[in-house]
Chain A
Amino acid sequence: MWREDLPALNSFGKVGSYLFLFLVLTTISATGTGADDQEEPEFPPAKTVVKRLQHGLIETMKVGPEIGYDGRFDRITPLVLQTHQLSAMAQLTVGRRTWMELSDADKKGFVRRFALIVVSSYASHFKKYGGEAFEWIREQERRPGQMAVFTEFQKANGEVIPFIYILSDSGGNWRIINITAKGISDLALKRAEYTSIIKRDGFPALLKKLDEKVTETREKHLTEQT
């Protein structure tokens, strides 16, 4: 019946209809319409991972003052775990040589503390909403398995801060491994700090300092809230 509605196609005959079908299928797969829109892929692309983090941060800011520091911390924790490659980030901050010398228990203890530092930093910075927004700019493959996602954070006062996210591909699963805010690399800063502390005072001192930092940040915010 549908063939009769398309006289031009009729003139192509059987070969024409196959060609038409092929073109339709190609178009659908190229534009990603249909089922792709309804089901989230198992491993979302790099851009989606960054958007998920940024959306979560803005939503947390909107309720930030009501839920307080602990509430923000609890909301942001799963978000960070889903979007960051924490063990890779942690190992890069201490350097390859130190990492290889650590016992499994020390590695796990460090990665866990590193995760808490990352979450507490987000909970401290993104504490209240005043009209801030993230804007996606572009993404660029740096090398196979590594993607840079360029975004901008628009502050309430109109100031714009460029945020660049570096993501790594781990079996099709894109995760953030570094964030550069206005040219300042989070990983580079942490690496300089941590290697300096290890060199001066040893690895146990770094673990102690990270514990103190998390506690101190929480207490500071709780004091401000009261």
Chain B
Amino acid sequence: MFRLLFRAVTWLLVLASLSAVTGCTTTGTSSASRDPLENLNRPINEINRGLDRIFLRPVAENYAKSIPKPMQSVITNFYRNLGEPKTILNQVLQGKFRIAFEDTVRFVVNTTIGLAGFLDVATPAGLVRHKEDLGQTLAIWGFAEGPYLVLPFLGPTTLRDLPSRFMGSVSGFGTFTNPLFFLDNNGIRYPLSALGMINARVRIIPTLRTVEIAATDRYIYVREAYREDRQFDIFDGNPPLDDLLEDEFMDEDLFLDDEGLFDDLE
């Protein structure tokens, strides 16, 4: 109980400082200019990549190769189900009561009929999965995104997402919304937490492959993709289309005559 109270007070303090730093403005939009810590972030990013190459990536790649795909899906279902209470709590905090109720039913159905969440029986029944966290809630409440941060070991975040990174940690150490938090038996809790971490790393293998293919400057690419992905989540899959074209598009003088430029390619 004391631990719970301590955490609540800690998060309140974090929220207060967030408010002070960001000025409590709007949901904010992506902008390369809000990276005042780039010189600090870049080396941390490189260290994280090095650590990942040595420790997590080999384990994740072996796991992806050796564990049959259906088994991987079952394990993913289990950890996703553990994340449902966090989603439900944040839906309530955002005033999405109807979806919170549906996701509560989803959680109960998957935890019972779905055998502790290993089977996702709710989705085929029409109760689709949603994803909400404290960072999204803070955005809905009007907190600005704040500067982009790369945390040692944990990777990309923003000041607004910082509490969520700890609260929503898959390891289950940092949050009372994760059922693993209430497990007293460390002999079960630690291996489950480690497996959760590996599972999370396996799930981002396709994303990292995309980054490898597409990125010309990996740090910038990940930063912008992270911000836009968060906007996508905050706006429940319907973010405003970027207005990159607003200011300078349709200026006929700027168009280049590309006649013949690609003749040898066609």
Binding site for B on A (CB under 8 A): 77-78, 81, 86-88, 90-92, 95-96, 99-100, 107-108, 111-112, 115, 117, 121, 124-125, 142, 145-146, 148, 162, 164, 166, 168, 177-178, 180, 182-185, 187-197, 206, 209-210, 213, 217, 220
Contact A180 B255 (CB under 8 A): no
Contact B221 A162 (CB under 8 A): no
- Residues in chain B near residue A108, CB distance under 8 A: 256, 258, 261
- With A92-B248, A196-B32 known as contacts, the answer to whether A213 contacts B216 (CB < 8 A) is yes
Contact B232 A185 (CB under 8 A): no
Contact B256 A87 (CB under 8 A): yes
Determine if B111 is an interface residue (Cβ-Cβ < 8 Å): no
Contact A209 B228 (CB under 8 A): no
Binding site for A on B (CB under 8 A): 30, 32, 210, 212-217, 220-221, 223-225, 228-229, 231-232, 235, 237, 239, 241-242, 244-245, 247-251, 254-258, 261-262, 265-266
- Residues in chain A near residue B228, CB distance under 8 A: 183-185, 188-189
- The 6 A-B pairs with the shortest beta carbon distances in the complex, nearest first, are A183-B232, A87-B256, A96-B248, A184-B228, A193-B217, A124-B213
17 A–B contacts, CB within 8 A, in A order: A77-B266, A88-B255, A96-B247, A107-B256, A108-B261, A112-B261, A177-B249, A183-B231, A183-B239, A184-B224, A184-B228, A189-B225, A192-B220, A192-B221, A194-B216, A197-B216, A210-B216
- Residues in chain A near residue B235, CB distance under 8 A: 183
- Residues in chain B near residue A148, CB distance under 8 A: 241
For A108, the closest partner residue in chain B by CB is B261
- With A87-B258, A183-B232, A196-B32 known as contacts, the answer to whether A92 contacts B249 (CB < 8 A) is yes
- Residues in chain A near residue B256, CB distance under 8 A: 87, 90-91, 107-108, 111
- Residues in chain B near residue A217, CB distance under 8 A: 213
- Selected from A88, A121, A197, the residue in CB contact (under 8 A) with B214 is A121
Question: How far apart are A170's CB and chain B's nearest CB, in angstroms?
Answer: 8
- With A77-B266, A192-B223 known as contacts, the answer to whether A182 contacts B210 (CB < 8 A) is no
- Residues in chain B near residue A81, CB distance under 8 A: 262, 265-266
For A190, the closest partner residue in chain B by CB is B216
Contact B229 A182 (CB under 8 A): yes
- Residues in chain B near residue A146, CB distance under 8 A: 245, 249
Question: How far apart are B217's CB and chain A's nearest CB, in angstroms?
Answer: 4
Contact B250 A145 (CB under 8 A): yes
- Residues in chain A near residue B225, CB distance under 8 A: 184, 189
Question: How far apart are B214's CB and chain A's nearest CB, in angstroms?
Answer: 6
Contact A92 B266 (CB under 8 A): no
Contact B241 A96 (CB under 8 A): no
